[in-house]
Amino acid sequence: MMDFILPLYSNGFLSPEGNLFFAITMGFAFGFILERTGFTRAQMIADTFYFKNIAVPKIMGVTIITATTWFILFAWMGWIDLHALFTPKTYVWPYLVGGLLFGLGMVMAGYCPGTAVAGLGTGKSDALVFLLGLFAGALGYFLLYPFVKDFASSGDLGVLKLHDLFGGNEYTSYILTIALETGIILFLMLLQKLTNKGEK
Amino acid sequence: MEKRYWNPYFGGVVLGTMLFLTFAIASQGFGASGTFSRATAQLLVESDKSWMGNAYVASYFRRGLNALDNWTVMETIGIFLGGFISALLAGRLMIKPDRAPGYPLMKRFLWAFLGGAVVMFATRLARGCTSGQGLDGMATFSVGAWIFMFAAFAGALILSPLFRKQWVVENEDEGGEA
């Protein structure tokens, strides 16, 4: 077995305190980029769903393409252990229902938690109201937890990667990811053209 | 003088590289929703210890007495600072709500609040938001992240007609608003 250097933290090259300092640094970069790309505007996120402006899926798609390209390159060089990266487990039913609800909340508010935090930093008063709503939602979930507990862990497939479904290895997942993201961006560009025909 | 926003493709390359670096160093990616869930749990337990009887709340205190002693919480503080500094340098720092011109402020706040509550409930079911589940999950090839993102996009699209008035200005009058 080869000795990996990356990820630094899980391989013991970074102390927990160092990692917390790093958390602020990377969060800073994340917030900075969210503001620079316009993600902190509720209007921009909402525009996505009316096909007025599809910068949001474009940025997300290119983000995934870029990050996975770095991963595959570094894994190929033997520099990073992809299995040590934290990957959320797959719970089919709660993710499906949670996703639909998330979409509803997003088109209501025009924010997701990360963009609202950066948005608050830029002075958006509605982002502050959205963040207060998050507290209310968490309280609601805690109170209802005894009733939704079983549903929340239904359809448990563990850590499931794309290549576990289609066979192959990380490279298969990588190619599928690039194809999906590129396809989604192109499809949305086409839809945008069709729906905005006649409009400027 | 207000700066222009970055080109989306350029922004994606920068954000993707940052996401890679975050994983390569910290072994985990970005997140945000967990911070507010933890903050709520911390507030509740501080005001009334009996909240520890709630299994979900108690799960945040397994490692210690403070639910906010957590990587994602620190990262979220960074997100706030990053947004602030970027807006400051770009000349976009301004206290104001984000809404379509002429849309009533109280209605805007009502939707922002309800949207926030719905979003948080959804992220508890989905174990993350567009960052912790969407970006991190898709970057690590997780099937669940794709289920979540497709469902989120579908949910927003299906219900978007109900909120059209809030976001889309119909028949913009020429020279209406200066």
Query: How high is the pLDDT of residue B100?
Result: 83
CB contact under 8 Å between A98 and B36, yes or no, is no
Query: How high is the pLDDT of residue A2?
Result: 57
The Cα B171–Cα B178 span in angstroms is: 16
Instruction: Read off the tokens for B128.
Output: 């993350």
Which of B6, B17, B23, B106 to probe the A interface (max A CBs under 10 A)? Answer: B23
Chain A CB contacts of B139 below 8 Å: 63-64, 67-68, 71
Q: Is the pLDDT of residue B174 over 50?
A: no
A90 in helix, strand or coil? Answer: strand
Q: Per-residue pLDDT averaged across B146-165, rounded?
A: 97
Which of A45, A53, A134 to probe the B interface (max B CBs under 10 A)? Answer: A134
Look-up: residue for tokens 């290895």? A169
The Cα A36–Cα B7 span in angstroms is: 9
Q: Is the pLDDT of residue A69 over 60?
A: yes
- The angle subtended at Cα B36 by Cα B35 and Cα B37, nearest 5°, is 95
Q: Which of A94, A96, A132, A126 is nearest to A111 (CA)?
A: A126
Q: Is B134 in contact with A184 (CB distance < 8 Å)? A: no
pTM: 0.95
Q: Is the pLDDT of residue B22 over 80?
A: yes
Number of Cβ within a 10 Å radius of residue B6: 19
Nearest CA of chain B to the CA of A109: how many Å?
4
Q: How far from B105 is each of A112, A126, B108, CA to CA, in Å?
A: 20, 9, 5
Nearest CA of chain A to the CA of B25: how many Å?
5
Sign of the torsion formed by the C-alpha atoms of B143, A152, A129 and B46:
negative
Mean pLDDT of chain B: 93
Res. B1 pLDDT band, cuts 50 70 90: low
Lowest mean pLDDT among A106-115, B62-71, B74-83: B62-71
Q: Per-residue pLDDT averaged across B19-33, rounded?
A: 96
Query: How high is the pLDDT of residue B176?
Result: 42
